[in-house]
Amino acid sequence: MTARCRIGILLCVLATMLAAAPVSAIDLRVEPSILGQVRDGDGYFPGPTEVPVELYGDFGLSGLPHATTVDTYFRLQDDFANANNTETDFFTGVLRVPSAPPGLDVQLGRQIVAESPVGLWDADSGQVRVGFGQTPFSLTVFGGQPRYWEPIFSSPSQSQNEQIFGGSLRVAQYTGGALALGYLQQIRQGKELMQQLTLSGTRAFSSLPGVPSLYGNFAFDADHANIDEVRLGVQSSVWKPQLQINFESGYYKPQDNGDVVIQNINRREDAVFQLFSISNELQFRGGAHYALTRTLSSYADLSYQRYEQSKGSYINGYVWSTGLLYLPGGDGLEVVRGEYYGVDSGGGTVNGGKVVYENRVYENILFRAMCNVGYYQKATHQDGTAVAGLVGLGYMFLPGLVAEVNFEGNKNQFYPEDFRFGFFISYSAGYTTSGGIHRDTIGNQWRPWPWAPAQFGPAAWGPAPATWSANPSLPASGWAAPQFASAEEARQASAKTDGTGTDAAGSAPHAGEPP
Amino acid sequence: MTPRLRFLTAVIALTATLAACRNYLPTNRFLQPRPASQENQSTGDARHKFNHDHHAKILGAQGVVCGDCHRFDAKIDASAPPLATAASAAALYPGGAACHYCHGPSDTRIAAAPSACTTCHSNLIPLMPENHQVAWLRVHGATASADPVACQNCHRDAFCINCHQNRDSILTFMHDRNYLSFHSVDARANPIQCGNCHRIDFCTNCHAHAIK
């Protein structure tokens, strides 16, 4: 069954449910986005001009009995210059009944199954979660068949005949944390790859200076009698909130294969990792973020990895980045970020710089520019400079409705003669029956970002730099962020919320608190 | 001056130029400055979601009366009518604590009461937990595996899928376009990281073509 058929069936089911239920009780959410691009044929696979168009959809229903929700998410891709290029369509959708009966949470469909600390699967699966009254205990059982949308250009070389089964038991719950025991069985092509016993947890210590938070994972493979993963980290503020640090160490060994390279990739637990390593990998990393002023902050991140590439040959890898984040005006409407990054490993070295600029100062106009220049010297004696540049201009016709034009200029070894130019136009809209146009999600959480937003800093620092704490008006992410309100709407919202903001801080839940 | 130094100089000059423009941008009837939004500073949007009719049965069964949530004894100074009206409305409004008494997070939560933040709140930014502020991209996996319910309080599956499954797009996301040129160096530096998102097909589809 093709993705289009599945989507059609789902839409029919949704329409039937909608027609059969009281209209006033159901909220229908429709958030489609369409993006198109014109570009030269990829140099690695020479061809004519490509005109890919992608349609993203996020349809959902809420307000059903027992707080039931239906959520879907799909992408259809077509290359208008090559009608057969539709291999990367994907579709997910899940029906969730969170409280029928109370304490029992049932989810069915193609959904994220994330109960293992060593992996996240999007699987055709079912999940049942049981809460035990006022106790911290919560039991989750799941099982299904994972879905993968790679490869892109050819038939899969790794089997998709795979099943996973497992469960987890939350045994403790803290302020800002929880502890859970888990079990996971993974089967591929009828053969068991692993049976993992896991322990994962996080805990924040709010009474200690800096409010440090510990997190960690442990996974033991009972089949191979070896430890698959141990990861332990801490994040904390130091010297008031201005300086924030994060340290982490990890051990990873997906399979106890010793010195033997497993030829059959379907027998490998982590086929990508086992391309490079016959041993475990040790990792240490640390990062810091320091707010120099209310509008200017700096960050740095360094990680070190060590593993055995072949018998007696060890690889030491270093990855680092450091940069400045400047928020002129402090309101997040204008962002400037400059970054220096580098990589050093057995494969060579990379040194590069990146500048990102984003401007949403005007109510209807959006502008951004990005330039990334990387100089590399590979162990294969190849060297060169690779450039990626982008300039984008967007116009907001209505709150939530944004059209964008972006121009790209790229230069690398695949396009040695000239820069590569392209443009794409994107358009997104959302509507709910209860709230009209859904400004707070359009272009933000559900719509894919045209490029990593300026706030989306190095991996160590997540989407929200420290300076945001003092300025709650800043957006969460993306340039089409929630505050796409006209001046009049902003005034109305301000008037409506006048005097009601006092519960904001007090009622904000911490992740891990009981639902 | 070496190429790297020239590049660094250009970066600094460009950054300074762009940032300095903020105070000199033109404005007219087409170029209206975006107002500083107040929406993100309050969770007050949730009060408009409350429906007395919907709650009447369950609250009645629990023995909850009007006075348990609303204060009717507030003394309002009637000498300033607009202020009195506003103060009266504010006094009657029970605040979020009344909602959270049943819906959580609290020990008094009623199991049948939907507990997800999104049940009432559409503006989630003020609710962002503090642990999301530092190194969250590194940490969130541990939290998600320890307590996935906590994630579902605010996020739908699509939020995870948007990063974890959204590859081979015409858009750039985690890697800029030039990453292709030196991805092999990065892969050897930290091979675990590739496997977080990609299957081996992603490697072999290109490298197998090259071998052929």
At A60, is the pLDDT very low, low, confident or very high (cuts 50, 70, 90)?
Answer: confident
Question: Cβ of A281 and B192 within 8 Å?
Answer: yes
* Stretch (H or E) spanning A307: strand A296-310
Whether pLDDT at A178 is above 70:
yes
Whether pLDDT at A504 is above 60:
no
Asked if A302 and A320 touch (Cβ cutoff 8 Å), the reply is yes
Which chain B residues are within 8 Å of A235, Cβ to Cβ? 131, 134-135, 138-139
Residue at token pair 């939020």: B159
Q: How far is CA A339 from the centre of its chain?
A: 21
Q: What is the CA radius of gyration of chain B?
A: 27
Asked if A303 and A283 touch (Cβ cutoff 8 Å), the reply is yes
Question: Cβ of B43 and A507 within 8 Å?
Answer: yes
Asked if A210 and A238 touch (Cβ cutoff 8 Å), the reply is yes
Whether pLDDT at A440 is above 70:
no
Residues 147-176 of B with CB under 8 A from A: 147-151, 153, 155-162, 164-174, 176
Asked if B142 and A214 touch (Cβ cutoff 8 Å), the reply is no
Does residue A24 or residue A406 have the better pLDDT?
A406
Distance from C-alpha of A278 to C-alpha of A1, rounded to nearest angstrom? 39
Can you give the pLDDT at residue A187? Answer: 94
A57-61, A257-261, B29-33 — most confident range: A57-61
CA distances (Å), A183 to each of A108, A120, A131, A395, in order? 20, 14, 18, 49
Residue B185 φ/ψ, nearest 5 degrees: -70, -45
The size of chain A, in residues, is: 515
Can you give the pLDDT at residue B98? Answer: 82
Can you give the pLDDT at residue A69? Answer: 86
* Interface ipTM > 0.85: no
Distance from C-alpha of A101 to C-alpha of A98, rounded to nearest angstrom? 8
Residue at token pair 């442990």: A218
* Stretch (H or E) spanning B127: none
Can you give the pLDDT at residue B78? Answer: 64
Q: Is B67 on the interface with A (CB under 8 A)?
A: no
Coarse DSSP helix, strand, coil percentages of chain B, rounded to the nearest 5 percent: 60, 0, 40
Distance from C-alpha of B163 to C-alpha of A459, rounded to nearest angstrom? 13
- Write out the two tokens for B103: 């819906």
Cβ neighbours of residue A228 closer than 8 Å, sequence gap 6 or more? A118, A194, A196, A219, A220, A221, A252, A253, A254, A255, A269
Residue of A nearest to B120 (CA): A63
Can you give the pLDDT at residue A400? Answer: 58
Whether pLDDT at A133 is above 80:
no
Distance from C-alpha of A58 to C-alpha of A78, rounded to nearest angstrom? 18
Distance from C-alpha of A167 to C-alpha of A114, rounded to nearest angstrom? 10
Phi-psi group of A224: left, alpha or beta (phi > 0 → left; psi -120 to 50 → alpha; rest → beta): alpha
Q: What is the pLDDT of residues A368-412, one digit of tens each?
A: 888 899 999 999 888 989 988 888 787 777 665 667 777 777 777
At A128, is the pLDDT very low, low, confident or very high (cuts 50, 70, 90)?
Answer: very high
Q: What sign does the CA torsion over A264, A265, A271, A273 have?
A: positive
Residue of B nearest to A176 (CA): B131
Classified as helix, coil or strand, A138 is strand
Phi-psi group of A133: left, alpha or beta (phi > 0 → left; psi -120 to 50 → alpha; rest → beta): left
Asked if A336 and B19 touch (Cβ cutoff 8 Å), the reply is yes
Q: Is A493 on the interface with B (CB under 8 A)?
A: yes
Can you give the pLDDT at residue A426? Answer: 56
Cβ neighbours of residue B202 closer than 8 Å, sequence gap 6 or more? A150, A151, A152, B167
pTM of the predicted model as reported, rounded to 2 decimal places? 0.79
Facing residue for B201 by CB, picked from A158, A287, A357: A158
Classified as helix, coil or strand, A113 is strand
- Write out the two tokens for A250: 């990890």
| Averaged pLDDT for residues A138-162 | 82
pLDDT mean values, one per 10 residues, chain B (212 residues): 65 68 75 62 70 82 81 67 70 78 74 75 72 74 82 80 73 79 93 86 75 42
Can you give the pLDDT at residue A40? Answer: 67
Which chain B residues are within 8 Å of A319, Cβ to Cβ? 186, 189-190
Distance from C-alpha of A164 to C-alpha of A3, rounded to nearest angstrom? 22
Whether pLDDT at A419 is above 60:
no
| Nearest partner of A394 among B134, B34, B167, B59, judged by Cα | B34
Classified as helix, coil or strand, A421 is strand
Q: Is A216 on the interface with B (CB under 8 A)?
A: yes
Phi-psi group of B104: left, alpha or beta (phi > 0 → left; psi -120 to 50 → alpha; rest → beta): left
Residue A186 φ/ψ, nearest 5 degrees: -120, 130
Asked if B175 and B187 touch (Cβ cutoff 8 Å), the reply is no
| Nearest partner of A293 among A266, A338, A330, A322, judged by Cα | A330
Scored b (16 or more CB within 10 A) or e, B164-179 reads: bbbbbbbbbbeebbbb
Q: What sign does the CA torsion over B58, B62, B67, B70 have?
A: negative
Distance from C-alpha of B199 to C-alpha of B201, rounded to nearest angstrom? 5
